[in-house]
Amino acid sequence: MRFSNRLRINLRELKLAGWGLVSRDHPVLAHLIPIRRCNLTCSYCNEYDETSKPVPTDELVGRVDKLAGLGTSAITISGGEPLLHPELEKVIERIRHHGILAGLISNGYLMTRERIGRLNEAGLEFLQISIDNVQPDEVSKKSLKVLDAKLVWLSELAEFKVNINSVIGGGIRTPEDALVIGRRAVELGFSSTLGVIHDGLGTLKPLKGVEREVYLKMRKLGKRTFTRINGFQKNLVDGKPNDWRCRAGARYLYICEDGLVHYCSQQRGYPGAPLDQYTLQDIRREYLTRKACADYCTVACVHQVGALDNWRDPQTLGVKGAVRRETVQALHRLYRIEYE
């Protein structure tokens, strides 16, 4: 990636973060789903199916236009596997047409030299690929062995920033692979992060044994060569809650393939409102709404967006969202309210 492109994207990110600090009434980040289907079947994932057709491009363009109208700063396209959408680049071009930061989350399997060129031309600014292990197994085929050649192509050709996200938890059999993956990412000039796989509600049980050791080693390594590892994970790996203000439904929006707004990928159904009817009033309501799943949430992008507003505006509206029983009981004791 050319230095000038990296500098330009970094400056845009800083500008959009600054605007997020100044104004509270717009989404900072939206995840947009162009297709639910995926070419892989990772056993821990609940965000895909094997049959869905791509969302028509004109509908996706309309959703991008609506998000632009709400003042959205960044849109990340995910799935399913978004590279399965035949006109993905048109959607990226529409995002950039509005001056919105354009990102993509992919498993990387369908990446080719030609596709990297098309993504460059469309104006993509950020790509994240998750790699779960060094050798593929029945839990996950997203392995370094399969994807390494594609990472080399990206290091040679991509004009956008690339982050490689390695993971622990969720049944990954060789958590120590995360260190191998992270070092390879840095060797190729990419940033690297560590994800802790959540359950179906976006929450986490404490890490133990090898998983915990790997997490601690990654944190030490991160001080020298890795991008920031999210501070909220420090409590979660010990089974401790985080005290923060989740602004999902306001500052962060998850737009499913049906064009509905949800809190995140793990809280589909809340609020479950059509994007084309979403208004400033909805944003302000959800901004002040406590989320039942927040204490043990592992969804990094929502935490990162929430950091802009954790210092202001206590959430005063009743708790919404689904959560594990033990967390509901804790909320009862804390807030002395009935779970909605």
Least confident of 53-62, 122-131, 171-180, 298-307: 171-180
Q: Is the pLDDT of residue 69 over 80?
A: yes
Q: Which two tokens stand for residue 208?
A: 């133990």
**Quick one: what percent of the chain has pLDDT higher than 90?**
55
From CA 53, how far away is CA 112, in angstroms rounded? Answer: 22
Tell me the mean pLDDT in the region 260-288: 95
pLDDT at 126: 96
Strands 260-262, 271-274: pairing is: antiparallel
pLDDT at 171: 59
Return the CATH fold of 3-280+296-311. Answer: TIM Barrel (3.20.20)
Burial of 202 (0-12, 13-18, 19+ CB in 10 A): buried
Would you say the pTM of this structure is higher than 0.85?
yes
From CA 56, how far away is CA 262, in angstroms rounded? Answer: 20
**Quick one: what percent of the chain has pLDDT higher than 70?**
85
Find out whether 11 and 19 touch, Cβ atoms under 8 Å: no
Q: Is the pLDDT of residue 332 over 70?
A: no
Tell me the mean pLDDT in the region 272-290: 97
Q: Is the pLDDT of residue 325 over 80?
A: no
Q: Is the pLDDT of residue 201 over 60?
A: no
Parse the chain into domains and list their residue ranges.
Answer: 3-280+296-311
